[in-house]
A and B are shown apart, each in its own frame.
Chain A
């Protein structure tokens, strides 16, 4: 009888003991040269040839490198290729590979490693989804990817440190595409030792980058440690820790607690940080090469073929009303298509300004006075994104008030949305485009040319297409820019879609984190980053 009571009391005591014994405070505040910043999701891949999402790319950029890299002024500059020549009127690239570069396993880098890596990325057996987008310009890449060739005929090593890549036609943006991890150099020996195929084990993850992957736990964290023999000099940081934290509020709390040094924030956290006297000064805003737009599909809604209707829509929507609520009003209103920082950004363009009376007049001239007779529209957009929903609500409200046009909102699950989007079946849609590489071609030709892969709204202007084609092939940067600027002016006047705002990201960074370098696409590899006072 008393045994029972004693057991009970012991259990209670154990609980109390557990609660007190479990307090432990290590790792609060700056750590000796370790940079800690959360991954917002589990790494989707650890293979540079396979990776697609920005968060994982940021992690792999520390480990793997390519022929070229982005500079702080957003240009492709030498990395593992120390120089190159462009021959045969722009179709042949001859790269001189940097000598004395070592892989993490001690092997020397040669041109053959690139031949292997690019061939692997193109092979049908690996089945990379990014090859088509980034490497199909290379002669023979498509045949290799589709299983009709045993190697990529356009890539060869003509010397131990000389690599030649042949592309199908002059494309001035080709170098920019090589900044993407898909073509990065990987270690044949390490991949073979790990069993070949896609890299899924840490042992296979061997690159030439400033950090080595030492721990990879897809559920909890990734740890990188400095590579002593890095060709750019040993990194100042000893290591990088990336705990995986999906909940934005939790990331924010971890930052407040001092467990992490840098976080990306969502809208709600930006609002909280702006009101926190301690954290307010640690918020950093970054321009990102992304644009949010609302497109009018001329193939699905015949009324959109009338330019006056499109102009009326553009003039009836008050972008500033949308921006006021997006990221606490910190985003930049978009009046052109190419974002700031990328050649071709044109601050002199004003687009169609908010003029509801003029809009009403134009719609009436098109045969729909006060919206009478205009079909009811459905605006499609990605679900569970408060910012995007907000754009939809403003568009709905303004078109109703200013034009008498009724819009139904259709927030759609992402996969289902993409299905319809890729079939060019969405009548009226909201979309965001984030650059793959920093080149005007990736916005103008890709999004709006008749031949552009992301023109899902049936806009077609021969004049625009022609200028884009000229720009795509032109090697002289100034001439090239002129073609694109003219093309952009045409697209803005034609209003196939309404640019709303350019993307801006908000991060919290502790003041003791120093030396971070950025380009528009994100933080550059942490070669010069260090923890002050440690």
Chain B
């Protein structure tokens, strides 16, 4: 188990280098010049050349890439072209709203998703099940940028329950700002988790050992929670993991609409400005988060289901 985990962690490094290389090449090929954008329409060619030199942008691609990797290894991502802060400061200040939203949305999605999925499975074919299926299809289908304005219109502007947008500096004041973005973010993973729970549970509930347990006199809730849910957990946990990766990295639109100072919004701005140091650093961070979450899912899965560990260990030697 430990060696397997170590191997997986070591694999993260070449993956991240590959991702960085891709970002560098993409930035090189994309049209647009951060220095021109920074200096604006009044810039003289001499001023552009001078500033390019100051930022080291006149050096060959490979030299810049090497420089970036060496810096990244020391968690030094350089200076933003536009922000007065260093990239590291930006990351440190912007990651936690994103992380907090992702964790809360994941919590909501998992709890409600498993709950509804279980009910749907137990009532398979009856009306609660059909309703759940319809809802999950709607949840998977509706894009964030459609759902967000609808929720804002109803809950912020009409009912005046929550804030339209924004963020509070104090943790205790955050509540009214969090509810709508958390709902928006959790809808997709919630629908996915509900579907996974439902199908996985239906499969388990039809198996012999469930009937045996019932015959032994275990109560119906006991059967569902202790026997069925535990056996149906594996695909659900995988689903939760991949949803979490999506949440950690996919909150671009939600953060922009709700004016949340998170990394997703910052990354989008950086892309518009061609702020390469910020683009590269956020890409690496997103990639690392995604990889680590998936690794965690695999490890948890191995812990719950011994068959997984044996297979993986066998496969990786």
Enumerate chain A interface residues (CB-CB to B < 8 A).
1, 4-5, 8, 11-12, 15, 18-19, 21-25, 28, 42, 44-46, 52, 127, 129-130, 132-133, 198, 200, 217-220, 243-247, 249-250, 253-254, 256-257, 259, 412-416, 418-419, 421-423, 431, 453-454
Contacts of A130 in B (CB 8 A): 42
Q: How far is the CB of A154 from chain B (nearest CB, A)?
A: 21
**Are A418 and B256 in contact, with the CB atoms below 8 A?**
no
**B303 lies within 8 A of chain A by Cβ:** no
Contacts of B266 in A (CB 8 A): 219
Chain B 125-169, CB-CB to A under 8 Å as 1, else 0, gives 000000000000000000000000100100011001111111101
**Are B39 and A129 in contact, with the CB atoms below 8 A?**
yes
Given A4-B225, A220-B166, A415:B41 Cβ within 8 A: no
Most B Cβ at <10 Å: residue of A200, A219, A245, A256: A219
7 further interface pairs, Cβ-Cβ under 8 Å (given A413-B30, A415-B35): A11-B111, A129-B51, A218-B83, A246-B259, A247-B256, A250-B259, A256-B157
A102–B40 Cα distance when bound, in Å, is: 34
**Which chain B residues in 228-275 approach chain A with CB under 8 Å?**
256-259, 261, 265-266, 269, 274
Option from B82, B108, B169, B179 in Cβ contact (under 8 Å) with A220: B169
Option from B31, B82, B265 in Cβ contact (under 8 Å) with A413: B31
The 4 A-B pairs at the shortest CB distance, nearest first, are namely: A219-B261, A22-B175, A415-B32, A415-B33
**Are A422 and B45 in contact, with the CB atoms below 8 A?**
yes
Q: What would be 11 A-B contacts, judged by CB atoms less than 8 Å apart? A: A23-B161, A198-B84, A220-B261, A243-B259, A254-B165, A415-B32, A415-B35, A418-B37, A418-B39, A422-B44, A422-B45
**B93 lies within 8 A of chain A by Cβ:** yes
Given A12-B111, A45-B84, A25:B160 Cβ within 8 A: yes
Contacts of B84 in A (CB 8 A): 45-46, 198, 200, 218
**Are A416 and B43 in contact, with the CB atoms below 8 A?**
no
A400–B41 Cα distance when bound, in Å, is: 30
**Are A246 and B256 in contact, with the CB atoms below 8 A?**
yes
Contacts of B175 in A (CB 8 A): 18, 21-24
**Are A8 and B257 in contact, with the CB atoms below 8 A?**
no
Contacts of B48 in A (CB 8 A): 422
A256–B160 Cα distance when bound, in Å, is: 11
Contacts of A416 in B (CB 8 A): 31-33, 36
A233–B161 Cα distance when bound, in Å, is: 41
Q: Residue on A with the closest CB to B156?
A: A257
Contacts of B66 in A (CB 8 A): none
A256–B256 Cα distance when bound, in Å, is: 18
Contacts of B163 in A (CB 8 A): 257, 259
**B221 lies within 8 A of chain A by Cβ:** yes
Q: How far is the CB of B233 from chain A (nearest CB, A)?
A: 12
**Are A219 and B226 in contact, with the CB atoms below 8 A?**
no
**Are A415 and B47 in contact, with the CB atoms below 8 A?**
no
Contacts of B85 in A (CB 8 A): 200, 218
Most A Cβ at <10 Å: residue of B166, B175, B178: B166
Contacts of B269 in A (CB 8 A): 42, 246
Q: How far is the CB of A211 from chain B (nearest CB, A)?
A: 20
**Which chain B residues in 12-42 approach chain A with CB under 8 Å?**
30-42
**Are B261 and A22 in contact, with the CB atoms below 8 A?**
no
**B176 lies within 8 A of chain A by Cβ:** yes
Q: How far is the CB of B237 from chain A (nearest CB, A)?
A: 16
Option from B82, B157, B256, B274 in Cβ contact (under 8 Å) with A257: B157
Option from B43, B94, B259 in Cβ contact (under 8 Å) with A244: B259
Contacts of B265 in A (CB 8 A): 246
Given A23-B176, A414-B32, A453-B42, A247:B164 Cβ within 8 A: no
Q: Residue on A with the closest CB to B224?
A: A5
Given A133-B42, A415-B34, A416-B33, A250:B258 Cβ within 8 A: yes
A254–B108 Cα distance when bound, in Å, is: 26
Contacts of B210 in A (CB 8 A): none
